[in-house]
């Protein structure tokens, strides 16, 4: 979960562990700067202005009071200036100067750590009234980057725990809120000083709620090669089991730190270290088997790969997948050469080398496997196959999967995660620890992160075949799910969204929803209809609303009684709601325990639970005679009791289904699909209407009456849900834009997708909007003025040089162009269930406001469409001139708000 002091300790321990385990080769390109007497430095004194109020995850919407005054970037330090602010004594915020807690400067790097705190706010009293919401606030800090020497320096800038900043006159949104350090921007800094303005935003989930409310951030500049380089050292590769790689797919992450676009020509194996077992043999034997260097013209069965189509635009970071196989048994490391060329310059081919030591693991121990995430990049999970001596009940041939979902800030390959179930080595199941793609599981195990879980589970049969596994098989549709903290919340998500696949669930120390974790109290004031839209966009992630979905599923709950990170209230609330939904969990409120303790995953009750539920022989999906269930977003939701809701009438409102035998009652549901195994040949009564299910197991509501069939809609499957539906891409995202006015924002979108989701994206420049939508991935179009044409000409949101026009649910047209600077972010359909997210601005400012809304952090609550007026900069959601949802025909719903 969030990094309390405890998690911070754990994290530093783990980072130490991790960094020690993976050391890399230096970059290929020599960086000899000493001769030039160059150096990099960051200010040791910073000008600070704050504090100001901010709501939980509100910063994405703007809501910065200094924007009312033209923005921090327009203000100069003035000791006497006073700024109205709701938090400090006297209602005024002032400038101050702070010293960086630490700075460092060398020829090729510079860093500064800032620790910001305010004593002119009565935090303790505010907390009594507004809870943890009160210790989230925002402020701005200004400093300088100094480049000495006479040459422009190419650098990367890490911005740990920072969400937004300006460098000179360039705006950057995204930063690195969770300190992943995956996709820093590349800057080409001329000699002299460069202004850097930091928007500091405190977030309880990331910074903790209990200790003094400081904002601690780090800036770290490092010289870059000015060409292709490894964004992350080493290769993401599976472990070796039985002398062979557990999975045949690997990945490297590359960054183009130059000014020209770069194309990858190929990725080939380089020299191979002699196998350990062959080291004493004649080296000629080894070399004869394994050529030391393969050039790109030599044919080799391990590569050339599709990697040869990959283009990295200047400043871009991309993960690149390639197929691997070990050239010999028992080798200890792999070495690859990436060949590449600059697109604009000559055809000169350059090389970049990458190496990775391999980890050999017993096939029965948790080991790393790799597979493709549907987003087109490689992900990994830790897999523990069933033990040799597992004594499963006779007749149990296909074993279930026990999933362990990690907490926030942890990698799945850390021992604390992957070895948490070592004390129960002989379970009658497969045990899997997925990553969800990042330490914060992508989006808290929701859309992107949960897709990763499913891809990981579905890769087990492939692993079985690949390694020639002779043990018991797997039933990929039988899950026992557990997890701690953010992973406890992820377990609730799995339980409520895939009930027909869950044998049993044990959510540990998890939260019910972000809103229950850190209240949304201190957002800028807004019309309750707008609150409803933001909140409705998060419907699918409010587990407290979805407890009905757990009916019939054994649930064990456990929470430390004195947890000061995720309050035990969350588990106690869900326990009460489960009881009221007719499902009693076994609830363990563990005395004297805080958020984490050593055996949190293997308490006596959990050990019993694992043994019992892995041998549970209930038929899945369970046939229930009486149950209800609730659907937030049909795009996220599997079936319950064999009933799948495929569309809601109003997607901004929950849909409900109530089943008693063959009698089904629905509310806000437009179409259903019934699972043949449970419903074939039944006659059902839906909302009082009798229907034969002989020929069709799909039914839909037309003019208030239910009919067989499913020809409901234009918007379906992966297109459903609020703006985060764009994350249901198949293949890399396509980020397209019109030219150099939009290139900066397009690159940021790409960088944020990689930083926050490890996602891959192709950045495409189109002088006039063309047909780049022909790939398989979802498209993000970045536009100023002229927007790309819509697949549906009558689309209800139209943007263009004349402004924005929207057609409301009653067919009335609203022109929203009154000379205003506008920004818009909205979904549109493409062929084959694909989606387009249009990020549009009437000018650069409008675009930068709209681009902030591209999905990145959880809990922001972007609906299907948002049109922002200029005042959103300080008023947040209230400054949107239109926002809301599209229905199944892509028409605006009545629940939407226009002006
Ligand atoms: C890889 O292994 C070799 C030999 O064991 C060792 O010297 C080297 O430091 C390792 N490299 C990394 C990056 O761990
Ligand atoms: C670098 O600094 C040294 C000593 O300060 C000086 O002698 C030398 O001329 C400088 N070189 C350049 C290229 O400025
Ligand atoms: C509050 O405002 C008054 C009047 O402007 C001023 O005299 C006083 O010093 C202020 N107090 C603080 C703590 O800023
Ligand atoms: C800053 O850089 C110095 C020198 O490279 C390094 O020792 C130190 O750990 C860095 N500090 C941070 C906070 O990154
Ligand atoms: C890896 O190999 C498989 C099958 O040989 C092929 O379908 C796939 O495209 C290859 N992937 C890459 C990234 O080269
Ligand atoms: C690989 O190493 C294992 C022991 O570590 C050994 O049993 C096996 O024979 C080796 N395989 C080959 C092909 O060298
Ligand atoms: C399921 O397990 C129970 C004991 O837990 C046993 O009595 C029953 O026969 C089993 N049913 C099947 C179909 O294996
Ligand atoms: C944008 O592109 C045009 C034409 O390609 C070029 O003339 C102009 O200098 C570019 N502007 C910037 C800011 O790069």
How confident is the model at residue 199, as a pLDDT? 98
415 lines ligand 6 (CB under 6 A): no
321 lines ligand 5 (CB under 6 A): yes
362 lines ligand 6 (CB under 6 A): no
Is the bond preceding residue 54 a cis peptide, omega within 30 degrees?
A: no
How confident is the model at residue 740, as a pLDDT? 87
Mean pLDDT score, 548-571: 98
Give a yes or no: residue 634 inside a domain: yes
Helix boundaries (H) for 383-500: 415-418, 441-444, 447-458, 460-467, 486-497
Q: List the residue whose alpha carbon is closest to atom 13 of ligand 3.
A: 89
Q: Using the atom order of ligand 1, give the atom closest to the CA of residue 234.
A: 13
329 lines ligand 6 (CB under 6 A): yes
Banded model confidence at residue 395, pLDDT cuts 50, 70, 90: confident
CA angle 720, 721, 722 (to 5 degrees): 135
12 lines ligand 6 (CB under 6 A): no
* Domain housing 491: 362-509+546-614
Q: List the residue whose alpha carbon is closest to atom 12 of ligand 6.
A: 329
Side-chain-side CA neighbours of residue 786 (13 Å): 11
How confident is the model at residue 473, as a pLDDT? 97
Shared domain for 729 and 676, answered yes or no, is no
Give a yes or no: residue 517 inside a domain: no
Q: Using the atom order of ligand 6, give the atom closest to the CA of residue 329.
A: 13
Give a yes or no: residue 539 inside a domain: no
Res. 570: pLDDT tops 60: yes
80 lines ligand 3 (CB under 6 A): no
The residue out of 357, 389, 404 marking a domain boundary is: 357
Res. 32: pLDDT tops 70: no
Shared domain for 331 and 317, answered yes or no, is yes
How confident is the model at residue 284, as a pLDDT? 32
Structure tokens at 146: 């100094």
Mean pLDDT score, 19-25: 32
CA distance 81 to 93: 9
Distance 510 CA to ligand 4 centre (A): 34
Res. 104: pLDDT tops 60: yes
Q: List the residue whose alpha carbon is closest to atom 2 of ligand 1.
A: 357
Q: List the residue whose alpha carbon is closest to atom 8 of ligand 2.
A: 37
Give a yes or no: residue 819 inside a domain: yes
Percent of the chain predicted with pLDDT > 70: 91
Q: What is the pLDDT of residues 71-98, one digit of tens each?
A: 999 999 999 999 999 999 999 999 999 9
Contacts of 781 (CB under 8 A, 6+ apart): 736, 737, 769, 787, 788, 836, 837, 838, 839, 840
CA distance 217 to 102: 11
How confident is the model at residue 695, as a pLDDT? 66
- Counting ligands in written order, the one closest to the CA of 122 is 3
CA distance 825 to 818: 19
Q: Using the atom order of ligand 3, give the atom closest to the CA of residue 89.
A: 13
Q: List the residue whose alpha carbon is closest to atom 11 of ligand 3.
A: 90
Average pLDDT, the chain: 91
Shared domain for 273 and 212, answered yes or no, is no
Shared domain for 734 and 870, answered yes or no, is yes
- Counting ligands in written order, the one closest to the CA of 331 is 6
The residue out of 559, 588, 614 marking a domain boundary is: 614
Q: What is the pLDDT of residues 780-796, one digit of tens each?
A: 999 999 999 998 889 99
How confident is the model at residue 283, as a pLDDT? 32
Choice from 90, 95, 118 to test ligand 3 binding pocket (greatest atom count within 8 A of CB): 90
How confident is the model at residue 346, as a pLDDT? 75
Q: List the residue whose alpha carbon is closest to atom 14 of ligand 3.
A: 90
- Counting ligands in written order, the one closest to the CA of 360 is 6
Shared domain for 449 and 497, answered yes or no, is yes
323 lines ligand 4 (CB under 6 A): no
Shared domain for 610 and 753, answered yes or no, is no
Shared domain for 113 and 197, answered yes or no, is yes
How confident is the model at residue 819, as a pLDDT? 65
Choice from 35, 36, 37 to test ligand 2 binding pocket (greatest atom count within 8 A of CB): 37
How many CB atoms sit inside 10 A of residue 602's CB? 15
How many CB atoms sit inside 10 A of residue 388's CB? 10
Structure tokens at 825: 């972010």
Choice from 40, 104, 108, 184 to test ligand 4 binding pocket (greatest atom count within 8 A of CB): 104
325 lines ligand 5 (CB under 6 A): no
Higher-scoring residue by pLDDT: 2, 425: 425
CA distance 717 to 725: 10
Is the bond preceding residue 621 a cis peptide, omega within 30 degrees?
A: yes
How confident is the model at residue 361, as a pLDDT? 96
CA distance 662 to 655: 19
Distance 566 CA to ligand 6 centre (A): 48
Nearest to 63 by CA among 175, 165, 167, 199: 199
CATH code, 478: 3.40.50.1820
Q: Using the atom order of ligand 6, give the atom closest to the CA of residue 243.
A: 1
Please, which residues bridge with residue 493 across strands? Answer: none
Contacts of 814 (CB under 8 A, 6+ apart): 805, 806, 807, 808, 882, 898, 899
CA distance 503 to 481: 8
Please, which residues bridge with residue 504 across strands? Answer: 480
Distance 105 CA to ligand 4 centre (A): 9
Distance 151 CA to ligand 5 centre (A): 43
CA distance 392 to 427: 8
Residue with tokens 């919407």: 61
Q: Using the atom order of ligand 5, give the atom closest to the CA of residue 322.
A: 13
Choice from 400, 503, 612, 617 to test ligand 7 binding pocket (greatest atom count within 8 A of CB): 617
Q: What is the pLDDT of residues 631-681, one digit of tens each?
A: 999 999 999 999 999 999 999 999 999 999 999 999 999 999 999 889 987
250 lines ligand 4 (CB under 6 A): no
Q: What is the pTM of this model?
A: 0.91
On the 0-12 / 13-18 / 19+ scale of CB atoms within 10 A, 769 is middle
Q: Using the atom order of ligand 5, give the atom closest to the CA of residue 306.
A: 14
Q: What is the pLDDT of residues 228-250, one digit of tens each?
A: 999 999 999 999 999 999 999 99
Banded model confidence at residue 815, pLDDT cuts 50, 70, 90: very high
Banded model confidence at residue 20, pLDDT cuts 50, 70, 90: very low
Banded model confidence at residue 692, pLDDT cuts 50, 70, 90: confident
Distance 337 CA to ligand 5 centre (A): 18
- Counting ligands in written order, the one closest to the CA of 376 is 5
90 lines ligand 3 (CB under 6 A): yes
Give a yes or no: residue 394 inside a domain: yes
Banded model confidence at residue 771, pLDDT cuts 50, 70, 90: low
Q: What is the pLDDT of residues 457-483, one digit of tens each?
A: 999 999 999 999 999 999 999 999 999
Res. 296: pLDDT tops 60: no
Distance 32 CA to ligand 2 centre (A): 14
Q: What is the pLDDT of residues 363-379, one digit of tens each?
A: 999 999 999 999 999 99
Helix boundaries (H) for 122-260: 123-130, 204-207
Shared domain for 195 and 273, answered yes or no, is no
Q: List the residue whose alpha carbon is closest to atom 8 of ligand 7.
A: 617
How confident is the model at residue 151, as a pLDDT? 92
Distance 92 CA to ligand 3 centre (A): 9
Res. 33: pLDDT tops 60: no
Give a yes or no: residue 599 inside a domain: yes
111 lines ligand 4 (CB under 6 A): yes
Q: What is the pLDDT of residues 184-200, one digit of tens each?
A: 999 999 999 999 999 99
Res. 6: pLDDT tops 60: no
Helix boundaries (H) for 239-391: 283-289
The total number of structural domains in the chain stands at 5
Structure tokens at 12: 């530093």
List, edge to edge, every strand of the sheet that includes 705-708.
643-648, 669-674, 698-702, 705-708
Q: Using the atom order of ligand 3, give the atom closest to the CA of residue 120.
A: 13
Q: Would you call 863 helix, strand, or coil by DSSP?
A: coil
Distance 266 CA to ligand 5 centre (A): 14
- Counting ligands in written order, the one closest to the CA of 613 is 7
How confident is the model at residue 152, as a pLDDT? 95
Give a yes or no: residue 426 inside a domain: yes
Shared domain for 204 and 291, answered yes or no, is no
How confident is the model at residue 345, as a pLDDT? 73
Over its C-alpha atoms, the chain yields an Rg (Å, rounded) of 27
Banded model confidence at residue 772, pLDDT cuts 50, 70, 90: low
The residue out of 341, 357, 373 marking a domain boundary is: 357
Choice from 306, 309, 731 to test ligand 5 binding pocket (greatest atom count within 8 A of CB): 306
Distance 873 CA to ligand 3 centre (A): 28
Res. 47: pLDDT tops 90: yes
How confident is the model at residue 389, as a pLDDT? 83
- Counting ligands in written order, the one closest to the CA of 235 is 1
How confident is the model at residue 25, as a pLDDT? 35
Pair type for strands 761-765 and 733-737 = parallel
Res. 272: pLDDT tops 70: no
Res. 307: pLDDT tops 80: no
Distance of CA 46 to the CA centre of its chain: 32
322 lines ligand 5 (CB under 6 A): yes
Q: List the residue whose alpha carbon is closest to atom 2 of ligand 5.
A: 323
191 lines ligand 2 (CB under 6 A): no
> Can you spell out the DSSP letters for 673-697?
EE-HHHHTT-EEEETTEEEE-SS-S
Q: What share of the chain is helix, strand, coil (3-state, %, to 5)?
A: 20, 35, 45
> Which helix (H) or strand (E) covers residue 818, if one does?
none
What dihedral do alpha carbons 424, 427, 430, 433 form, nearest 10°?
A: -20
Q: List the residue whose alpha carbon is closest to atom 4 of ligand 5.
A: 323
394-399, Cβ contacts within 8 angstroms, sequence gap of 24 or more:
395/617, 396/428, 396/472, 396/615, 396/617, 397/472, 397/473, 398/472, 398/473, 398/474, 398/475, 398/478, 399/428, 399/429, 399/430, 399/472, 399/473, 399/474, 399/475, 399/614
Structure tokens at 791: 């697949």
190 lines ligand 3 (CB under 6 A): no
User: CA dist 207 to 299, 409, 718, Å?
Assistant: 52, 12, 34
Structure tokens at 301: 């069965």
Shared domain for 489 and 384, answered yes or no, is yes
Q: Using the atom order of ligand 1, give the atom closest to the CA of residue 356.
A: 13
Higher-scoring residue by pLDDT: 773, 701: 701
Res. 359: pLDDT tops 70: yes
Residue with tokens 């020509």: 265
Give a yes or no: residue 14 inside a domain: no
Shared domain for 161 and 207, answered yes or no, is yes
Q: What is the pLDDT of residues 118-175, one digit of tens each?
A: 999 999 999 999 999 999 999 999 999 999 999 999 999 999 999 999 999 999 999 9
CA distance 51 to 121: 9
Nearest to 483 by CA among 475, 474, 493: 493
103 lines ligand 4 (CB under 6 A): no
Mean pLDDT score, 825-844: 96
Distance 357 CA to ligand 1 centre (A): 6
Ligand 1 pocket list (CB less than 6 A): 22-24, 333, 357
Shared domain for 203 and 293, answered yes or no, is no
């Amino acid at each position: 979960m969030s990094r309390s002091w405890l998690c911070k300790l754990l994290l530093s321990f783990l980072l130490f562990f991790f960094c020690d385990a993976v050391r890399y080769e230096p970059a290929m390109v020599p960086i000899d700067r000493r001769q030039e007497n160059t150096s990099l430095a960051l200010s040791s004194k910073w000008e600070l202005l704050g504090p100001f109020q901010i709501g939980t995850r509100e910063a994405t919407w703007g809501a910065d009071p200094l924007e009312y005054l033209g923005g921090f970037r327009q203000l100069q330090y003035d000791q006497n200036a006073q700024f109205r602010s709701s938090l400090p004594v006297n209602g005024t915020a002032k400038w101050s100067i702070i010293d960086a807690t630490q700075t460092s400067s060398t020829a090729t790097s510079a860093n500064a750590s800032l620790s910001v705190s305010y004593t002119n706010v009565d935090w303790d009293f505010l907390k009594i009234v507004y809870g943890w919401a009160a210790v989230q606030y925002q402020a701005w800090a200004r400093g300088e980057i100094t480049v000495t020497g006479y040459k422009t320096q190419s650098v990367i800038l890490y911005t740990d725990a920072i969400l937004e900043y300006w460098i000179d006159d360039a705006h950057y949104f995204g930063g690195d809120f969770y300190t992943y350090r995956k996709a820093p921007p590349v800057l080409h800094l001329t000699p002299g000083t460069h202004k850097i303005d930091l928007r500091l935003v405190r977030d309880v989930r990331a910074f903790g709620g209990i200790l003094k409310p400081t904002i601690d951030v780090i800036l770290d500049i490092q010289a870059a090669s000015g060409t292709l380089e490894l964004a992350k050292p080493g290769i993401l590769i599976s472990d070796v089991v039985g002398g062979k790689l557990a999975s045949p797919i690997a990945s490297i992450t590359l960054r183009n730190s130059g000014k020209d676009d770069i194309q990858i020509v190929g990725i080939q194996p380089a020299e191979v270290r002699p196998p350990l077992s062959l080291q004493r043999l004649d080296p000629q034997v080894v070399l004869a088997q394994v050529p030391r260097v393969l050039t790109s013209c030599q044919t080799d069965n391990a590569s050339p790969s599709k990697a040869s189509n990959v283009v990295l635009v200047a400043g871009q970071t991309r993960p690149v997948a390639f197929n691997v196989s070990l050239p010999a048994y028992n080798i200890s490391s792999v070495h690859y050469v990436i060949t590449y060329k600059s697109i604009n310059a000559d055809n000169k081919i350059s090389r970049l080398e990458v190496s990775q030591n391999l980890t050999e693991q017993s096939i029965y121990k948790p080991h790393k496997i790799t597979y493709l995430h549907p987003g087109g990049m490689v992900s990994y999970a830790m897999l523990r196959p069933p033990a040799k001596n597992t004594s499963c009940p006779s007749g149990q041939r296909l074993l279930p999967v026990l999933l362990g979902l990690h907490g926030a800030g942890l990698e799945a390959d850390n021992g604390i995660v992957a070895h948490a179930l070592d004390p129960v080595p002989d379970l009658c199941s497969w045990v899997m620890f997925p990553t969800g793609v990042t330490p914060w599981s992508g989006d808290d195990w929701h859309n992107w992160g949960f897709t990763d879980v499913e891809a990981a589970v579905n890769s087990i049969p492939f692993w079985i075949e690949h390694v020639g596994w002779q043990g018991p098989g797997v039933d990929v549709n039988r899950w026992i799910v557990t997890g701690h903290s953010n992973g406890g919340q992820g377990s609730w998500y799995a339980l409520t969204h895939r009930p027909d696949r869950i044998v049993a669930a044990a959510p540990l120390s998890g939260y019910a929803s972000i809103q229950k974790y850190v209240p949304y109290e201190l957002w800028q004031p807004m019309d309750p209809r707008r609150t409803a839209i933001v909140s409705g966009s998060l419907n699918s992630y409010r587990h407290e609303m979805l407890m009905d979905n757990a009916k019939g599923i054994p649930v064990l709950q456990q929470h430390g009684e004195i947890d000061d990170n995720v309050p035990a209230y969350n588990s106690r609330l869900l326990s009460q709601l489960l009881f009221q939904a007719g499902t009693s969990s076994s609830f363990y409120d563990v005395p004297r325990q805080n958020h984490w303790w050593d055996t949190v995953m293997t308490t006596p009750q959990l050990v019993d639970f694992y043994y019992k539920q892995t041998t549970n022989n209930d038929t899945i999906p369970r046939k229930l005679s009486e149950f209800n269930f609730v659907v937030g977003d049909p795009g996220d939701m599997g079936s319950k009791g064999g009933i799948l809701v495929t569309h809601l009438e109003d997607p901004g409102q929950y849909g409900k289904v109530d089943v008693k035998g063959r009698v089904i009652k629905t509310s806000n549901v437009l179409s259903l699909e019934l699972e043949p195994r449970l419903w074939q040949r039944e006659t059902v009564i839906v909302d009082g209407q009798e229907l034969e299910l002989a020929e069709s197991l799909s039914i839909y509501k037309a003019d208030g009456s239910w009919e067989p069939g499913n020809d409901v809609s234009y918007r379906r499957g992966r297109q459903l849900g609020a703006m985060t539906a764009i994350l249901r891409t198949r293949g890399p995202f396509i980020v397209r834009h019109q030219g150099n006015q939009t290139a900066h924002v397009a690159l940021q979108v790409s960088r944020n997708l990689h930083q926050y989701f490890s996602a891959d994206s192709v950045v495409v420049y189109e002088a006039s909007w063309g047909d780049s939508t022909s790939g398989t991935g979802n498209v993000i179009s970045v536009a100023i003025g002229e927007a790309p044409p819509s697949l549906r000409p009558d689309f209800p949101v139209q943007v263009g040089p004349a402004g924005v026009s929207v057609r409301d649910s009653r067919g009335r047209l609203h022109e929203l162009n009154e000379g205003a600077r506008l920004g818009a972010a909205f979904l549109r359909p493409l062929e084959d269930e694909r989606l387009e997210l249009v990020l549009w601005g009437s000018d650069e400012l409008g675009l930068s406001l709209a681009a902030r809304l591209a999905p990145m952090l959880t809990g922001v609550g972007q609906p299907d469409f948002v049109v922002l007026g200029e005042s959103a900069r300080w008023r947040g959601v209230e400054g949107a001139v239109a926002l809301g949802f599209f229905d199944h025909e892509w028409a605006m719903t009545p629940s939407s708000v226009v002006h």
